Amino acid sequence: MKTVAIIGATSAVAQQISLIHVKAGDSVALVGRNQDALGVIAADLKLRGPKECQTFAADLVDSERHDELISRIFDGVGELDCVYIAHGTLPDQSECEIDYEKARLAFDSNCLSHISLLTSLAKRMKAQKHGTIAVITSVAGDRGRKSNYVYGAAKGMLSIYLQGLRNALFEHNVHVLEARPGFIDTPMTAHIEKKGMLWASPQKVATDIVTAASRKKDIIYTPWFWSLIMLIIRSIPEFKFKKMGL
């Protein structure tokens, strides 16, 4: 039995991660902004028989209170075997191009808030000398594309940070997983009408992430075929890539 915290627990993928752990008999701590939504999720999970399911409401972009939040979680549940960070937003690229404040908010919600949480979390994980931190980023961070380069830049920045964090925490027996999903059919992407073979369900992505965390993988693409797609995209020479409409 493990003790698991899920930050951004109301997202579609996070809810599926919670369900997987509950079915395995693990204790879960759900962390998110909306207490009512957390309560509904927790009530459903408790019907499925977890040993313990606690909720912690907090503004995940409020970095000034992240130390307090992480302390509350550890004080409430004790040492953590695994922490998932799954919050974020999908900004409107066209708005970010003309309004710096929109771009800044995109970086706050998709990168800087993660770094703030990870800074507080890493101190606690180093002290307990074990555990896994799993962070959901995106394939968008692999290369800047005109369709979503603000979002992609935020995720790319977070990816580089996670590489260094993985290196820094290795000697403390703390593992860092980065999960890079492709297209996921969730409420956040409900406005995108045409969904095809490249789209995955939240259940599929959650299963891949939980499995990778248990196997202490470093970086995964989910579904797996995105590793091949992004390899091709990264291999396109810049003089050609800049002319493409990706």
Domain locations in the chain as residue ranges: 3-241
- Those residues of the chain that have pLDDT short of 50 are none
Domain 3-241 superfamily per CATH: NAD(P)-binding Rossmann-like Domain (3.40.50.720)
Which pLDDT score, from 0 to 100, does residue 192 have? 64
Mean pLDDT of the residues in the chain? 94
Contact 195, 185 (CB under 8 A): yes
State the pLDDT at residue 50: 64
